[in-house]
Structure 1
Amino acid sequence: MKKHLLTVAALLASLTSQGAYSLQLRMDKSDAHYKAGETAVCNVLLLKDGKPVSGEKLLCTVKWEGVPVRRDIIECGGVSGQVPFKGEKPGWVYFGFEVLGKDGKPLRDPALYTYKNKPGIAGEAGAMFDAEKIKAVGERPADFDEYWAKCRADLDKIPLNAKIKELELPEPHRNKVRLFAVTVDCLGNLPVTGYLALPVGARPKHCIAVVDFLSWSSSDANRNAAISAAAEGAIGFAATWHGLPAGRPRDFYVQELKKPEHNVLQDCNNRDKWYFRNVYFRVMRALDYVKSLPEWDGKTLIVRGGSLGGLETIVAAALDPNVTLAVAGVPAFCEFNGRRAGRRRSIPYRSEAFDRRFVEEPGIPAAMAYFDAVNFAPRIRCEIFVCTGFTDELCSPSNVYAFFNHLPDGKKFMTTDPYTGHGGTTVNVQGDERLRKQFKEIKVRPYQP
């Protein structure tokens, strides 16, 4: 089952800057889903001090699958301008707008920027053509399942040896939630690290469990996610992705992740040595630990995360049959071989140098296939809620659809938004609603007066 649900109010997506200028964007189809051969039209209105502008100009960069194909100048006449694009085949189109100054160059006022990592972009929108027909290319390794079964068996030989340290909590959660910093032994170079939160007075075998996976950032695990789950009466566990100790200042993670042992580009031609193999081990081991807790009800195991955390959510759902619900936002590592289909390659391998290496060194795509979200998709049997934004240039929506379309039918749901992108801007509306429903079903409220 699949459903598209917009998260923008009134479907107009007013992208307003902090300065005098603002943009209003509207696709001519509210959900921005088109059939191949149709023309998508992006309507744009430039405002200044809240009023339509005449006599000024916008530059729109149109990209097909992340590659610029056209740059249009829009003469602002006080009414909406239009930027059309005809999609001839399944795929993704992006519209990025910049305000031009009197010198004809894009204004570089940070107050105009929609995202700080996209200098000059004052507004953006996107659309999909025949999203349901986007198919992943390449063959799933014949021994894919056998390989991960062996990895699982090797991991099982390592005792959990969990070490926990209780932490003090401020109000309003004090006397309601207990919080612990956790370290769990794991196969590979680093342990599982993160935070465990439990409802005070939780009884054995009475709590559902919610595991949050961290996005690719130089930061600590999200302890607030674990605390929030425990406040609902669930076991909450928030894991780091990097395996570094929890509770350190941000600069600690920034400096540590610069060290050679955290170079994610090395050994990418060897499935047994690549950096993220250990990350996937830690995903499995985090679930092992949570399932070992006496408070877990043995029935409900929820995983969630965004970006890299979305990928980890996918891996968790694919490799642990106890997972009952997965909420994966804007997931990474979908289609390492996307170039073969005319799409972008997943991060972190997008440079021209790596494009050449993928062709010249067949060992690289062969190894990466064991870590591609697309190849984990057929293993997922639980409910899974995915989201993607059509302005996401980091984890491209067409790559996400290649993964989504590879999932078994029946328990999959997609939320899309034409006007949002990465960095927490795209909300997994259906997934969040499913989680709220799950929390409402919790019968035990151990800290109610």
Structure 2
Amino acid sequence: MYTDLPEADLRRYVSEQVDPADFDAFWAETLTDAATHDLNVTVIPVDTGLATLDVFDVTFAGFAGQPIKAWLRVPAGATEPLPTIVQFHGYGRGRGQSYENLLWASAGFAHFEMDLRGQGWGGSTSDTPDEAGSGPQAPGFLTRGVDSKETYYFRRLYTDAVRAVEAARSLDVVDAARVGVMGVSQGGGLALAAAGLVPDLAAVVARVPFLCDFPRASVITDAHPYRELGIYLSTNRLNTARAHDTLSYFDGVNFAKRARAPMTMTAALMDPICPPSTVFAAYNNYAGPKQITVWPYNGHEGGAWEDDALTLTAFREHLRQGSGRPGGTAVPESDRWA
């Protein structure tokens, strides 16, 4: 059922999130520090038994030079620079197995699938630890290190995402000028962060994105993972202002203001995990060309396979010439590029 604003109000909704004065300086310093570490990209072929795709086990240096795993999948025998999709995953997931997640490479793209440090319990596995410690936190990752922007978990994860784009672009099989980012839920939030931090991406797809509009998300839903904030602040109640100050440096709303790449977003009006107002908070602030598809009767699954079709359409349009919507279905006029 609907528990958020009507769609007409969603399209006018303005977040109360603060845009910190030193937001850009903080991220410039963070990424400059990361750049002091060589990317150290290693690429090892994996024998998957697949006939149509080649798969490689990739390691690169993320935040603080710490090793991050990824999969690279390409059409079998590909050597020329390909349009490339860098994918980030949802909360609790990891890169999974080498023979999973074959759609994007099967469609002709190079597919760079980043692992998530310390995650990997929610339906797929991870091979990347989070090497940093933490002060008090609620179980999960949303409050890990939230006492300061320097120690917050998502500082490390967002930096990993930027470095993943750089690592992908360093590969001969990747066309550095035709790289897009995508993700669902937390992955959508990471895609928005990358869009705000990497100035020359070719396309962005953020499906039912998480990590947007923390001031509203923390009070409008009792579903996890946002519930972790409520649990933490109900005990550490004197830290409320400090925690929200930290979160303002990691909010998709503020990254959206700085993003310029063409962006496709989806929202589900019955989503209790990423309420549609939090998604529209980022969409309404997005500074580049954008479109959003709304699914009125769906929850956090969004449009599922329909969103896969929208994703392929977006990347075909912006990463290479030609190609319409799979199956020949026209994109509704109301959802065309703004």
Judge same fold: TM > 0.5, yes or no: yes
Moved more, 224-233 or 158-167: 224-233
Q: Which digits, 9 at most, give the CA deviation of each residue in 1:110-145, with x for residues without a partner?
A: xxxxxxxxxxxxxxxxx4342121111032000101
Q: Which residue of 1 aligns with 2:315?
A: 435
- Aligned residue identity for 1:402: A
Q: Which residue of 2 aligns with 1:418?
A: 296
**SS, match of residue 7 in structure 2:** strand
The RMSD of aligned alpha carbons is 3.4
- The structure whose residues are more often helix, as a share, is 2
Q: Which residue of 2 aligns with 1:287?
A: 165
Is the 2:75–2:110 Cα contact (8 Å) retained in structure 1?
A: yes
Distance 1:364 1:130, change over 3 A: same
Residue 305 of structure 1 and its aligned partner are, at CA, apart by: 0.8
Distance 1:252 1:64, change over 3 A: closer
Is the 1:192–1:285 Cα contact (8 Å) retained in structure 2?
A: no
Q: Which residue of 1 aligns with 2:203?
A: 325
Q: Which digits, 9 at most, give the CA deviation of each residue in 1:33-82, with x for residues without a partner?
A: xxxxxxxxxxxxxxxxxxxxxxxxxxxxx7644xxxxxxxxxxxxxxxxx
Gapped regions of structure 1 (runs ≥ 5): 1-61, 66-91, 93-126, 444-449
- Aligned pair partner of 2:69 in 182, 186, 193: 193
TM-score, normalisation: structure 2 = 0.80
Please give the alpha-carbon distance, in whole angstroms, between the structure 1 residues aligned to 2:124 and 2:83.
34
**SS, match of residue 290 in structure 1:** helix
Please give the alpha-carbon distance, in whole angstroms, between the structure 1 residues aligned to 2:76 and 2:239.
57
- Aligned residue identity for 1:198: V
Please give the alpha-carbon distance, in whole angstroms, between the structure 2 residues aligned to 1:218 and 1:279.
13
2:62 counterpart of 1:183:
no
**SS, match of residue 334 in structure 1:** coil
- Aligned residue identity for 1:435: F
Mark the structure with the bigger radius of gyration: 1
Residue 198 of structure 1 and its aligned partner are, at CA, apart by: 2.7
Q: Which residue of 1 aligns with 2:48?
A: 169
- Aligned pair partner of 1:146 in 19, 25, 31: 25
Gapped regions of structure 2 (runs ≥ 5): 324-338
Please give the alpha-carbon distance, in whole angstroms, between the structure 2 residues aligned to 1:369 and 1:188.
22
Please give the alpha-carbon distance, in whole angstroms, between the structure 2 residues aligned to 1:252 and 1:241.
9
Distance 1:263 1:379, change over 3 A: same
Q: Which digits, 9 at most, give the CA deviation of each residue in 1:354-380, with x for residues without a partner?
A: 257466542111111111111111111
Please give the alpha-carbon distance, in whole angstroms, between the structure 1 residues aligned to 2:3 and 2:234.
18
Distance 1:189 1:152, change over 3 A: closer
Residue 165 of structure 1 and its aligned partner are, at CA, apart by: 2.2
Is the 1:232–1:439 Cα contact (8 Å) retained in structure 2?
A: no
Is the 2:267–2:302 Cα contact (8 Å) retained in structure 1?
A: no
**SS, match of residue 422 in structure 1:** coil
Distance 1:236 1:243, change over 3 A: farther
Q: Which digits, 9 at most, give the CA deviation of each residue in 1:317-376, with x for residues without a partner?
A: 111122110011010011111179x74597254425525746654211111111111111
Q: Which residue of 1 aligns with 2:111?
A: 236
Query: What does residue range 27-106 of structure 1 map to in structure 2 within 5 Å?
Result: 64-65=3-4, 92=5
TM-score, normalisation: structure 1 = 0.62
Distance 1:227 1:312, change over 3 A: same
Q: Which digits, 9 at most, give the CA deviation of each residue in 1:9-55, with x for residues without a partner?
A: xxxxxxxxxxxxxxxxxxxxxxxxxxxxxxxxxxxxxxxxxxxxxxx
Matched residues, number: 312
Q: Which residue of 1 aligns with 2:255?
A: 376
Q: Which residue of 2 aligns with 1:363?
A: 242
